[in-house]
Amino acid sequence: MRSSKKLTVVIDTNVLLVSISSRSKYHWLYQALLKGKFSMAISQDILLEYEEIIGKQWSKEVAVNVLRSLSELPNVVFVPIFYKLGLITTDNDDNKFVDCAFAANADYIITHDHHFDVLQSVPFPRIPLANIHQFEQILKF
């Protein structure tokens, strides 16, 4: 039986990016977030990356609107980062997501980035991964 605890996830930038547009087949993820179907952990570094990448891909206005939405949602938790684990050596920039997941005790990092695969061989801390398709199935149960 599933616990009544809402899942907490950290969402990699590229996954968030493809879920923003209402024309995207992945828009269900952004809608599920807006509807409070799960909790999202976010750090200041992640927020800055979201702003930069969404601004480049879409526009500064879209980035501001997405960040405003995230800051106002009760199911988005801003997490202070006290430990820099440095578990991903192939792309140090990805460590901000790992550090946030660790600090928030997140259930999953939602990503398609293969740099995160190294986490599957790290015994501690255990930080589970799911891609967007797997997460859709997880949310359905």
Domains in the chain, please, with CATH?
A: 8-139 (3.40.50.1010)
Lowest mean pLDDT among 2-11, 60-69, 109-118, 124-133: 2-11
Match 């996830």 to its residue by tokens: 9
Q: How far apart are CA 92 and CA 85, in angstroms?
A: 10
pLDDT value of residue 4:
61
pLDDT digits (tens, 9 = 90+) for 48-87: 999 999 999 999 999 999 999 999 999 999 999 999 987 8
Q: How far apart are CA 43 and CA 46, in angstroms?
A: 5
The CB-side HSE value for 93 (13 A sphere, CA atoms) comes to 6
H helical segments located in the chain: 13-19, 27-34, 44-57, 60-72, 95-104, 132-140
Q: Quick check: 3 pLDDT over 70?
A: no
